[in-house]
Every structure is written in C-alpha cells, then in structure tokens.
Amino acid sequence: MNLLLEARGLHLKFGAIAALDDVAIDVSAGEVVAIVGESGSGKTTLLRVLAGQMAPDSGTVRYLGGDVLGMTEAERRRLMRTDWGFVHQNPRDGLRMGVSAGGNVGERLMALGARHYGNIRDEAKAWLQRVEIDAARIDDLPRHFSGGMQQRLQIARTLVTRPKLVFMDEPTGGLDVSVQARLLDLIRALVHELGLSVLIVTHDIAAARLLADRILVMRRGQVVEQGLTDRVLDDPQHPYTQLLVSSVLAA
Amino acid sequence: MTILLRTEGLGKTFTLHLQGGTRIPVLGGVDLAVRAGECVALSGPSGAGKSTLMRCLYGNYGAGAGRILLAHQGRDLDLARADARAVIEARRQTIGYVSQFLRVIPRVSTRDIVAEPMMARGVARVDALARASALLDRLNLPERLHGLPPATFSGGEQQRVNLARGFGPRHPVLLLDEPTASLDAANRAIVIGLIDEAKQAGTAIVGIFHDAEVREAVADRVFTVEPMQDAA
C-alpha cells in the first residue's frame, strides 16, 4: 500500500470545545477520501491541520514518512508548490484577483522554475480549456468571472503543477446547484485522468458518493464512522450517520 | 469446478437507531457456494432478503456475522472483514454487479460509462470503447444514443446500459439483480444469451430473476432465502 498521508492521535481544543478528538486518518496514492459532517463537526479544522496550516495540541501528521507538523514554513511552502494543492471553498482565497486568468495558472508553473513565456502561456491556455473556460478569456481578471468560472480557474491553478495530493475544502460550497453538478463532474474526470489523491471536505453527501472511494463521518471532533463510501451511505451503522443519510432529500 | 464465491454462516441484522434502536434480522446462517460456470438463482418471498444478500455479496452492506469468501487473485478474500481498499480492488478485478437502476453520472456519455470498468480492469481505452459499442449494439441501444449521457433515457434503455457496463469487464464473479425487469421479450432473449456466454467462459453468477422464463433459461439451481422471524 502506497501511503501518502498518515495522521494519528490528533487532538485540538478551542477553549472547552474539542475540534479534534483523537482523530486518525490516512490517504493512499490514487485514492479519493471524503470527510463529511455538519458545520462545526471539525472537518475543516482537520483539513487545515493535515495540510500543515494549523497546529494540533497533540498528534502526528506524516507525508511520505516525513513529519508535517515539524516542518519549517519554508519547507511547507515548498511542499505546497511541488507535491500538494489546496482548493479553497471561496475561490478568492485561492486566486490572485488582481492577476489575469492566464497569470493565475502560469505563476504556479513559474514558481516551479518554468521560464519560457510562450510555453507557460500555451500550458495556461490548455488548462483553461480543460476546465471549460474559453481560452479567449486568458487575459481577463478573475473578478469578472462568475463564481463557477472562478472555482474552475482555481482548480486549473491548483492542478497545473500536477500535485500528488490535493486538499479540497467544500469546493462546491457557494455555487448554484446546476453549477455544482458541472464542477463535480469536472473534478471527477480530472481525478481519474491525472490519478490524483484527494482529501475532500464536504457536507454534500451526493458529492461524496460521486467522488470518494472512502468516507469518514465526523461529529463533534470525532470520526464516528468510516469505510467504503457506498457501504457507509447505504448501510450506516452509527446513529449520527443514519441521521445524516436519512436527512438527504431524494430529488 | 472451483468455488469462486461462498458464504459461511452469513448473517445480517439492521439496527435502526432513529427508530429507538429497533433491530431487524434479515439474514441468518446463510451458506451459499457458487462454482465457476454456474448460475444460482435466489428465490424466496418478497422481503425475504434476496436483495440484502446480493448487497452483502458485493460488500455494499456490511455482513453482521459469518464470512463471504471471494476467490480473488489466487486466494480467498473475506469480504465481511476486508478493508475498503481491498473491497474496491476486488470490485475492480473480480466481482461485478448489475443493479436494477443505473446511477447516472452527469455529462458522461453512455459509451464511456460502459467502457470505464473495463479500463479500470486494465483494458486499453480503444479496446474498451470498441467492446462498449459492440455490447450496446447487441443490446439494441441505437448508435445515436451511445454518445449521449443516459440521464434522459427510458428505464429499459438505462437498464441495458447497466447490463453492458456489467458484462463488459468479464469479471469472474457476476451478481445480477433483476437484470431483465424493464426489458421486452427480444431484449430478454439477448440477456439470456449474454448470461449463457458468461457461464461458458467460467463466470460464477448469482441472480435474482423474477421473470420465470429467464430463470428457467439461465439458472442451474435455485437457492432459497428463508424469511427470518422478526425479533421485537
């Protein structure tokens, strides 16, 4: 088993509230893992701890065997440039709004050492098309894009460097339902094509079913149930998972 | 012939936590063995647990008791205990499932939906697409539909897409849940042909066939699922 990310015994308290209460999780190469649960369950906190953006009170996080929590800021930034990607719920947190669409994609390549302007622009153009943005918009600023387009641009910016592991925090969060479906479908296709490993936080059960191989259900900082996605959703064991699954309206 | 799938003392009880912890025992002590090249039809009254057994065999429901042994890559994999990654790998390589309803993926074409599990099993894309088209043709799905997502197809058309997807990869073990429920006589005959060919190729098949004509034509024997008494 080709283990990429491995976390054990994570604890984190905000005052009296346990945001993470003895959480363990791992992600193998080529695997999509979803973390589901309602607001305040600790799922976004877990993602931020795993990505090295927030320190837990105790516990370990290892990426390819290396200690994530003990890394210097420079080492973590290097990992974010080379091996990792992070897709934020709000595209404005992942994009540079004052830089053109092409620049948003291209600067990630430049950070990895690409210098040939023509090649960078060609690759940026190819990625815009891949996320279904008209290549003619390459010089436009993202602030003139719709929410769905901004999110697709953020995905292009994240994936252009071919990360091994992508963290996604509610990537379909603030979008219209029709736009969500298109985005999920795009993510699903890209994950397949590129063989990405993805750790995705979502409160959308249907999104988890569509994308994830495995699922973890969080409640009050604890993982209450985990396993094969379709088994957890079709044969939930924990009372909270049963409530979560039965609360989804069938369309 | 070799046994490819067997259960030993398989049991399944559902606990409904939202209904005050009501326990519903559905399966108990199920011992089923299916050999290569054999088709076993599950029978029993409605609600006896035929579909629950099928879902346990695929790992979609977790087994409550007993073992589910699948001959997978030269050894027995116990699906009742296997972790999620092992179940995913077994589904990719060894065990296929044709459910009654197609879970439609938005915007993915019918041909790609059918080709996908073949490619996951290692078939080259060009060959997988060719076999997908051939299976869809054989199941009388007009070629103009092959490039469209099946979301707007009729129930019978979606079922045929599902069948093509299920028979495409030639898994050694195949589970069929009412594979002909929404099909007309001509298409039922085609499905009977597909099942016969799979058996001749050594596939072990477990099926639920409400259609007596189909069951007579394909089943080598019947396995009765007994309803359990409700424990209050």
pLDDT tens readout for residues A133-191: 999 999 999 999 999 999 999 999 999 999 999 999 999 887 888 888 888 888 988 99
In 10 A of CB B90, how many CB atoms?
20
Would you say residue A54 has pLDDT above 90? yes
Residue of A204, A185, A151 lying closest to A34 (CA atoms): A204
Contact (Cβ atoms closer than 8 angstroms) between residue A220 and residue A185: no
Q: Enter the tokens of residue B114.
A: 């059918």
Q: Model-level pTM?
A: 0.93
What's the whole-number mean pLDDT along residues A193-222? 94
Contact (Cβ atoms closer than 8 angstroms) between residue B210 and residue B184: no
SS3 state at A197: strand
Q: Which amino acid makes up residue A10?
A: L
How far is the C-alpha of A198 from the C-alpha of A111, rounded, in Å?
A: 22
Sign of CA dihedral A224, B26, A243, A43: positive
Would you say residue A1 has pLDDT above 70? no
The answer to whether the Cβ–Cβ distance between B84 and A214 falls below 8 Å is: yes
- At which residue do the structure tokens 């080492």 appear? A75
Q: Which residue of B has its CA nearest to A235?
A: B61
How far is the C-alpha of A187 from the C-alpha of B156, rounded, in Å?
A: 30
Q: Tell me, what's the pLDDT at A165? A: 97
How far is the C-alpha of A107 from the C-alpha of A2, rounded, in Å?
A: 30
Chain B residues with CB under 8 Å of A227 CB are 62, 83-84
pLDDT tens sequence across B187-231: 999 999 999 999 999 999 999 999 999 999 999 999 999 888 654
Chain A residues with CB under 8 Å of B15 CB are 237
Chain A residues with CB under 8 Å of B118 CB are none
The answer to whether the Cβ–Cβ distance between A181 and B106 falls below 8 Å is: yes
Contact (Cβ atoms closer than 8 angstroms) between residue B105 and residue B113: yes
Put the strands of the sheet holding B39-43 in their side by side order.
B95-98, B173-177, B204-208, B39-43, B221-224
The answer to whether the Cβ–Cβ distance between A228 and B107 falls below 8 Å is: no
Task: Count H helices and E strands in chain A, helices first.
Answer: 10, 10
pLDDT tens sequence across A69-127: 999 999 999 999 899 999 999 999 999 999 999 999 999 999 888 889 999 999 999 99
User: What ipTM does the predicted assembly reach?
Assistant: 0.93
How far is the C-alpha of A65 from the C-alpha of A72, rounded, in Å?
A: 16
Chain B residues with CB under 8 Å of A243 CB are 17-18
The Cα of B44 is separated from the nearest Cα of chain A by a number of Å equal to 22
Q: Tell me, what's the pLDDT at B120? A: 92
Closest Cβ opposite residue B17 in set A28, A227, A242 = A242
Q: Enter the tokens of residue A1.
A: 């088993």
Indicate the helix (H) or strand (E) that contains A154: helix A147-159
SS3 state at B5: strand
In 10 A of CB B153, how many CB atoms?
18
Chain A residues with CB under 8 Å of B55 CB are 234-235
- At which residue do the structure tokens 């209450």 appear? A224
Better pLDDT: B11 or B151? B11
Would you say residue A249 has pLDDT above 70? no
SS3 state at A159: helix
pLDDT tens sequence across A21-49: 999 999 999 999 999 998 889 999 999 99
Would you say residue A16 has pLDDT above 50? yes
The Cα of B17 is separated from the nearest Cα of chain A by a number of Å equal to 5
How far is the C-alpha of A7 from the C-alpha of A65, rounded, in Å?
A: 11
The answer to whether the Cβ–Cβ distance between B60 and A230 falls below 8 Å is: yes
Would you say residue B21 has pLDDT above 90? yes
